[in-house]
Amino acid sequence: MVGRPNVGKSSLINALVGTKVGIVSDRPQTTRFLVRGILNEPSLQLVFTDTPGLHKPRNVLGQRLNQRVDEAVAGVDVLVLVVDGAAGVGRGDAFVAEREVEPFAGPRIVAVNKVDRLRGRAVVPQLAAAADLAPFDHVLPVSARTGAGVPELSAVLRTLAPEGPPLFPADRASDQSLEQLVADVVREKALALTREEVPHSVAVVTEDVERDEETGFLRVSCTILVERESQKGIVVGRGGRMMKEIGSAARAELETTLGARMHLELRVKVLKDWQRDPRSLDRLGL
């Protein structure tokens, strides 16, 4: 799955897999790592690769995220370009099509997402505009939010996927490690709860995970990184209120996802201009 930021790639993969495997936010650069969602059925395994939104980068992080998209596309069998039908097909979509879709040698699909926000025949011009971006084998209207068109997209992907052995165990819905899952969920909640000036600057590192072998109880500690002292104050909140809200929301989702009780400890540190510092990005795995 490729596309410009905020077109709904992660939401669409979640809908196709049938469970949440990628965090979702309306903020750009929510997806920073390649996350693979795995659909398992008795005689079928489809692996969907979620990618960062392709954009014209303004810093080293942006450059590296774009490189991740390039690397991901080089290793897949089918390419799906996701565009936002509600916002309208535009130059950002053309940029992605030129960079990723045109050179791709395999089957190519364009999924026009968010059609639930369009009325009646308003979807037709968006389908036509999407079809003009590149030579596609299929042009499909979908809504990750309502599920409209998702079965049709899944059916097409099943006909295009090559035969082969399963790539992952049948009980896995994602290739994420526990540490990365925790970090992503904490960051998702921080994105949802903090103000506009913070989200781009937030990164989360899982520092430690301890599991009680008898009870399964988890003790997890994470560090939330920001670039400015002022941002640290926003994430912490008055009297630590924001940190408590982020931690409570993240813990509730993680306990449901993992099926285990947990203690989640959060702290905030300032790592100045980490998005522009190659050494900091290396330490963060970015």
DSSP labels, 235-264:
HH-GGGHHHHHHHHHHHHHHHHHHTS-EEE
pLDDT for res 250: 96
pLDDT for res 222: 97
CA dist 218 and 223 (Å) reads 17
pLDDT for res 229: 92
What 8-state DSSP symbol labels residue 164?
-
pLDDT for res 196: 64
Task: Supply 13's token pair.
Answer: 């993969």
What pTM does this model have?
A: 0.86
CA dist 173 and 20 (Å) reads 9
pLDDT for res 146: 95
pLDDT for res 112: 97
pLDDT along the chain (286 residues), means of 10: 92 93 68 85 93 86 90 93 95 95 96 92 93 97 96 96 92 89 92 76 93 92 94 92 95 92 96 92 87
**Which structural domains are found in the chain, ordered by start?**
9-160 (3.40.50.300), 178-283 (3.30.300.20)
Per DSSP (E only), the strands in 51-185 are 79-84, 108-113, 138-141
How many Cβ atoms from other residues are within 10 Å of residue 188's Cβ? 23
Cβ density class 96-106: b for 16+ within 10 Å, e for less: bbeebbeebee
Residue with tokens 């813990």: 251
Q: Which helix (H) or strand (E) holds 13?
A: helix 9-17
